[in-house]
Amino acid sequence: MEKLPQISEAEYEIMKIIWDESPISTNDVCDRVPASHNWSKKTIHTLLSRLAAKHVIAYEQRGRMYYYYPVISQKKYLSQENNHFLDRFYNGEASSLLSSLLSGSRVSDAELEKMYQLIDSKLRGEDA
């Protein structure tokens, strides 16, 4: 698998907007950033520039406006990040991650049922 660039948490927030609504104008990105971030337009423009420099997004100019679209898929990026997380914290062992999740009190019965169904589906060779 080709190694995708690392992106910061702030850059990831911008990526989520672009994955959801591309192509999307600079102004629309600014409008969709949650107010809780309290980011200025200049900060958002800087994040867009960084993402473009990392080649995870691209843009096209239409008149005076720039429209952004993803170069990498969200699924591909999340797969890489999941593998990195698993390797870093659980020595690549999914069973250790699952054990840690199950020992926590935040897993509801509904979530346990979903996990069971996903594991059962995978064991039967179905695409989860």
Question: So what's the pLDDT on residue 128?
Answer: 58
Ranges under pLDDT 70 in the chain: 1, 128
100-115 pLDDT, tens digit each: 888 877 888 898 899 9
For residues 21 and 32, the answer to whether their CB atoms sit within 8 Å is: yes
Determine the number of helices (DSSP H) and then strands (DSSP E) in the chain: 6, 3
Q: Give the pair of three-digit tokens for residue 79.
A: 């797969």
Query: What's the angle, vertex CA 73, arms to CA 69 and CA 74, rounded to 5?
Result: 105
For residues 51 and 15, the answer to whether their CB atoms sit within 8 Å is: yes
Helix ranges, 9-108 (H): 9-21, 26-32, 41-53, 74-90, 94-103
Question: So what's the pLDDT on residue 127?
Answer: 73
Question: So what's the pLDDT on residue 1?
Answer: 54
Query: What's the angle, vertex CA 79, arms to CA 97 and CA 39, rounded to 5?
Result: 100
Amino acid at 52: A
Q: In b/e form, how buried is each residue of 108-121, taking b as 16+ CB within 10 angstroms?
A: eeeeeeeeeeeeee
Question: So what's the pLDDT on residue 84?
Answer: 92
